Amino acid sequence: MNIANLFKIAVRALTNNKLRCFLTMLGIIIGVASVITMLAIGQGSKKSIQAEISEMGSNMIMIHPGGDMRGGVRQSADDMETLKLKDYESIINETRYVAAVSASVNSSGQVIYGSNNAPTTVYGISPDYMEIRRYKVQDGEMFTEQDVTTAAKVCVIGKTIVDNLFTNGENPVGKIIRFQKLPFKVIGVLESKGYNSMGMDQDDLILAPYTTVQKRVLAITHLQEIICSAIKEEYTEQAMDEITEILRRNHKLKADEEDDFTVRSQQELSNMLTNTTDMLTVLLAAVAGISLLVGGIGIMNIMYVSVTERTREIGLRMSIGAKGIDILAQFLIESILISVTGGLIGVLFGVGASLLVNYVAHFPIYIQPWSVILSFAVCTMTGVFFGWYPAKKAADLDPIEAIRYE
Amino acid sequence: MKEIIKLENIRRNFVVGDEVVHALRGLSFTIKEGEFVTIMGSSGSGKSTLLNILGCLDTPTSGEYYLDGVSVRTMGKNARATLRNRKIGFVFQNYNLLPKTTAIENVELPLMYNPAYNTVQRRKKSIDALIAVGLGERLNHKSNQMSGGQMQRVAIARALVNDPAVILADEATGNLDTRTSFEILVLFQKLHDEGRTIIFVTHNPEIAQYSSRNITLRDGHITSDIENEKILDAAETLAKLPVNDDY
Ligand SMILES: Nc1ncnc2c1ncn2[C@@H]1O[C@H](COP(=O)(O)OP(=O)(O)OP(=O)(O)O)[C@@H](O)[C@H]1O
Ligand SMILES: [Mg+2]
């Protein structure tokens, strides 16, 4: 029997049982659609994280107090105060591979202007911060080293703060806002950066001289973070080594003592993030894959029922000359048709669902062509794999018994 | 006349548990082209077993079977399937039409498994076969929209369509009322007149009178094998039947 005839027979058999056929397909549709959607979301967030990081500067280095936390050991409070002003100054003065350096302390709280108030975070930083994090002042100007030295009560605010506090459209530059009762004069407004890939608002911040935040807001002398940039991306490693050496010397650590600070590069962070999203993608895809498997088992189940129901038909076909392979091919084509049609619909639904997720939840998505091809291929394989056994069973029937089957 | 079927000491044993059932105990006979043979015998005498062997669905435990000059005993499964497709037409008691399928599609089925036919030839032959059984007007009726007699005609058309060397019928009138049975018998006689070879298994001794030869089985043996000198005409009998009999 030729393929065209086999197809006709399979289509006929399937259309004779439309509802059942559709329900069987549903398993495959859901499986394929979820694989595609999950991969689209996973790949999308990976892509956007990568884009963001390369925009932020891949030469960024962050120094935190306390040893490497990745071992899961809890740090004591004393450990968290190991970064001092002296470290900051040493890094500025003694490094060759570090371009810009900024101290960093922050405090969260309510910011008030007139009758408006909003929760936000004040970052105490050095003017170099702008270069490292690639922030730009849109209106007004950035504070200077002079302001840092005098611990001036000036600040630069993000777009979200402007929207929250200056609701009637007045120009924020020159106005006085209050953060934890402390008045700050707004001298500049930052260019908007929007949301990052983790859904964080990058415009919801106030930048002020670190000295001001240290002394007047937090009343501390240590630093919470030092961030800097290597002179070039290629020199990140050297810059990190340099910094480690300086800090170990400053902290008077003996050779056998562990670092009481952590130096991490943006590169590492980005690797960590992409690793996490990769893992998440794999996990999501695995869950989706399981639903594809369940769909496949659905096909197998229905093919079994179909073979049993049509035992007489199989017997008849054999008695008029169908060979085992003809019967095998007939049922295999049926199950492949179910899975391929289901797969096609699943691809459409998957792409649709991805776009919907993007539209409704603002998740970044990226539909990789290979993920579509892969899930489609897997789904065809599912049809062959799960259709094989019932089809084989049909082909192996004894025609005499089959034709008498009631 | 050419010998279509030749059996030499055919035995068929079934092993059930540790018991051996001797369904056929050494049958030998030949059937020539153009014969209309009825096979009779009580239940369990081995009629169906014999027909399955004749139809190449089953192979004998021992003995030789030649169909149209070819030895079937040594053939593999696939070769027998092809042989069935080219040389044999089956008619079953319960018609065995595909459900929800039109008459013509049912009749086309054997030719689907024969690559020698293309779509056009297949259709033409099927229409011819349906016309031959008197269903030229019902080509596109579905199997579930037909009466038992019509379904059996479709089944006969399906058995004819591949120009088989022999038509095998097992209780082909078993499910039909007297009148319809005779209508089917008329059809078989017409096929016989056209020179086709027919083997017809039946319980009904009356039917033997309309065939050219009658073989009786008992316990796997042939107890009688008689040529019928005076073949009755089924059409005449049918004409004499009361028209409105309530069966
Ligand atoms: N597959 C089988 N396994 C075991 N025994 C079988 C098998 N097929 C047939 N037999 C036995 O072979 C003998 C002949 O059976 P067969 O079906 O040929 O009888 P039959 O003449 O067709 O009877 P009926 O008129 O009732 O159809 C019976 O005793 C039956 O039990
Ligand atoms: Mg029988």
Q: Who's near A298: CB < 8 A, 6+ residues apart? A: A24, A27, A28
Distance in angstroms (rounded) separating the CA atoms of residues A67 and A35: 40
- pLDDT score of A269: 77
Report ipTM (2 d.p.).
0.94
B187 in a structural domain: yes
Residue B44 Cβ inside 6 Å of ligand 1? The answer reads yes
Average pLDDT over residues B13-30: 94
- pLDDT score of B221: 95
Task: Give me the domain span that covers residue B225.
Answer: 33-57+85-240
Q: Pocket of ligand 1, candidates B11, B12, B14, B53: which has the most ligand atoms within 8 Å of its Cβ, to mutate? A: B14
- pLDDT score of A75: 57
- pLDDT score of A17: 85
Reported as a single tens digit per residue, the pLDDT across B125-172 is 999 999 999 999 999 999 999 999 999 999 999 999 999 999 999 999
B246 in a structural domain: no
State the closest ligand 1 atom to the C-alpha of B47, by its place in the atom list counted from 1: 21
How many domains are contained in chain B?
1
Show which residues on chain A lie within 8 Å of chain B, measured between beta carbons: 1-2, 5, 9, 12, 16, 312-313, 315-326, 399-400, 403
- pLDDT score of A73: 56
Residue B220 Cβ inside 6 Å of ligand 1? The answer reads no
- DSSP 3-state assignment of A72? coil
Reported as a single tens digit per residue, the pLDDT across B30-48 is 999 999 999 999 999 999 9
**Encoded amino acid at A105, one letter:** V
Instruction: Identify which of B90, B99, B113 has the shortest CB distance to residue A322.
Output: B113
Residue B46 Cβ inside 6 Å of ligand 1? The answer reads yes
State the closest ligand 1 atom to the C-alpha of B45, by its place in the atom list counted from 1: 21
Q: Of B159, B162, B164, B166, nearest to B184 (Cα)?
A: B159
CB contact under 8 A, A316 and B52: no
CB contact under 8 A, B81 and A318: yes
- pLDDT score of A260: 86
Reported as a single tens digit per residue, the pLDDT across B201-227 is 998 899 999 999 999 999 999 999 999
Pairing of strands A225-230, B62-67: unpaired
CATH number of the CATH domain containing B155: 3.40.50.300
Residue nearest to atom 16 of ligand 1 (CA): B46
Average pLDDT over residues B95-120: 92
Residue nearest to atom 5 of ligand 1 (CA): B14
Minimal C-alpha gap between B184 and chain A (Å): 21
Comparing A7 with B83, which gets the higher pLDDT?
B83
Name residue, tokens 């009361």: B242
CB contact under 8 A, B113 and A321: yes
Neighbouring-strand partners of residue B103: none
Burial A7-19 (b: 16+ CB within 10 A, else e): eebbeebbeebee
B179 CA to middle of ligand 2, Å? 23
Count Cβ atoms within 10 A of the Cβ of residue B118 and give its class: 0-12 exposed, 13-18 middle, 19 or more buried. Answer: exposed
Distance in angstroms (rounded) separating the CA atoms of residues A12 and B238: 39
Q: Output the six-digit token pair for A201.
A: 């608002």
For chain A, the domains span: 3-52+272-403, 81-259
Q: Of A213, A399, A375, A233, nearest to A317 (Cα)?
A: A399
Instruction: Identify which of B81, B92, B110 has the shortest CB distance to residue A323.
Output: B81
CB contact under 8 A, A322 and B81: yes
CB contact under 8 A, B101 and A317: no
> How many Cβ atoms are within 10 Å of B115's Cβ, its own excluded?
10
Which pTM was predicted?
Answer: 0.74
CB contact under 8 A, A403 and B92: yes
B70 in a structural domain: no
DSSP-assigned letter for residue A214: I
Show which residues on chain B lie within 8 Å of chain A, measured between beta carbons: 52, 55, 57-58, 77-78, 81-82, 84-86, 90, 92, 96, 98-101, 109-110, 112-115, 158, 162
pLDDT band at B82 (very low <50, low <70, confident <90, very high): very high
Q: Which residues of B touch A326 (CB under 8 A)?
A: 113
- pLDDT score of B67: 94
- DSSP 3-state assignment of A234? helix
B207 in a structural domain: yes
DSSP for A28-40 reads HHHHHHHHHHHHH
B120 in a structural domain: yes
- pLDDT score of B245: 54
CB contact under 8 A, B84 and A320: yes
Low pLDDT (below 50) residues in chain A: 70
Q: Which residues of A touch B57 (CB under 8 A)?
A: 318-319, 399-400
Residue nearest to atom 19 of ligand 1 (CA): B44
DSSP for A73-136 reads PPPPTGGGG---HHHHHHHHHH-SSEEEEEEEEEEEEEEEETTEEEEEEEEEE-TTHHHHHT--
Confirm if B110 and A321 have CB atoms less than 8 A apart: yes
Distance in angstroms (rounded) separating the CA atoms of residues A316 and A319: 5
